[in-house]
Amino acid sequence: MIDQTAAFAGREIFRIGYGTAQLPRLRDRRTEAVALVRRAVELGVDHIDTSQFYGPDVVNELIHEALHPYPEGLRLVTKVGARRDDQAAWLPALSPAELRQGVEDNLRTLEIERIDLVNLRLHADDHGNGLGDPTAEQLGALADLRAEGKLDLIGISNATLAGVRMAVDLVGTVGEVQNPYSILNRSDDETLAFCEEHGIAYVPYFPLGSAFTGGPKRIAEDPVISRVAEKHGATPSQVALAWLLHRSERILLIPGTSSIAHLEENLGAADVTLDGEDMAALAEVEQAGTPHN
């Protein structure tokens, strides 16, 4: 059996949380959205990943409606560094003033005075490889907010390995790295190894591969994943998530969904125990290029 819990933000948490990026799909069905968030917590989720710019300006309000006052032990994680224009396109918002405003907006809409972790969400670098590097000013802005008691931990998202190293050097403890990684996209192995070495949580986004490159559909159609899934009486998606949990004890998952059925399926991945033969077979799954989001 794999460990189903891991240390995070000062306590042991269940290794599968809930990522809320898909929750805006239910913006016009608030009753369903609230029921989904509450069901996640009922099933043991104690780590919710959110952001005020999801929607935009939708998800935190739904989390607040569903859960406030928040259950003891619930860890709330957000990210700053982006904004949305009138067409809901993603734009950088990485100046120190914008980062501060982003944290303040999250605190206001969640109705809390301090948040457990804030990720600095970076954007593609000048070389177009999809990952970015932070600046000292950006990290300093979050360190100032930490000193003011408005956040406990600083994380970094969509970062190069050099960027992660820089964050560790400048802010000391880094709570998590949130980068794209899945059974279909293992290009971030070096950063995962760095996180293991330094005791940093590694939180993959696109844990089932990006929909832009056929991720979930490709997982479902992969013959190796399907064969392992049949062996364990699981779905291919559950095997792909279980593979991540077996890949490293530093990995925490935040699969997103707007469906209670898919939520329950995702959480069931914690009960899929892969053996050495399974892991060897899954190591041969063909990789897919995954765009960064």
3-state DSSP of the chain: CCCCEEEECCEEEECECEECCCHHHHCCCHHHHHHHHHHHHHCCCCEEECCCCCCCCCHHHHHHHHHCCCCCCCEEEEEECEEECCCCCEEECCCHHHHHHHHHHHHHHHCCCCEEEEEEECCCCCCCCCCECCCHHHHHHHHHHHHCCCEEEEEEECECHHHHHHHHHHHCCEEEEECECECCECCCHHHHHHHHHHCCEECCECCCCCHHHCHHHHHHHCHHHHHHHHHHCCCHHHHHHHHHHHHCCCECECCECCCHHHHHHHHHHHHCCCCHHHHHHHCCCCCCCCCCC
Distance, CA of 3 to CA of 19 (rounded, Å): 20
Distance, CA of 116 to CA of 150 (rounded, Å): 9
Of these residues, 18, 54, 202, 205, which one is catalytic?
54
Q: Is 205 a catalytic residue?
A: no
Contact indicator for 265, 237 with CB cutoff of 8 Å: yes
What amino acid positions are annotated as catalytic residues?
A: 54
